[in-house]
Amino acid sequence: MPIESPVSPRIFRRMLEIEGFQLVRQDSLNWAFFKDGCGLIHPVILPHTVELVPLEIMSRVLDVAKITPGLFQQLLDRIKTEPNLTGSA
């Protein structure tokens, strides 16, 4: 089941954090995340100035982060129960 709906940068950031990624750098447009031991050479870049992360970017980041559509949905369901993030999807 492919990802069909974009999510906010805050929700996507939280997904990466739950999966062990750490924010290593940010600027006025993007966040950069890295996870030790996952085989990445470069950090994962996530734009944070958009209302919703475009599906093309989400797909690339999910692929690099090894987050399957099933895991994406589990993370989304979990995050929707967290305070301060509800209503942002």
Q: Are 89 and 18 in contact (CB under 8 A)?
A: no
Q: What is the reported pLDDT for 3?
A: 81
Whole-structure pTM value: 0.86
Compute the C-alpha angle 12/8/3, nearest 5°. 65
- What tokens were used for 35? 């996870």
The CA distance from 66 to 49, in Å, is 24
The CA distance from 77 to 39, in Å, is 27
Q: Where are the beta strands (DSSP E) in 1-89?
A: 22-26, 30-34, 44-47
**Would you place residue 31 in the very low, low, confident or very high pLDDT band (cuts 50, 70, 90)?**
very high
**Domains delineated in the chain:** 9-79 (3.30.920.30)
Q: Average the pLDDT over 3-10 and give the result.
A: 91
Tell me the per-residue pLDDT of 35-45, one tens digit each, with 9 for 90 and over.
Answer: 988 777 889 99
Reply yes or no on whether the pLDDT at 84 is more than 80.
no
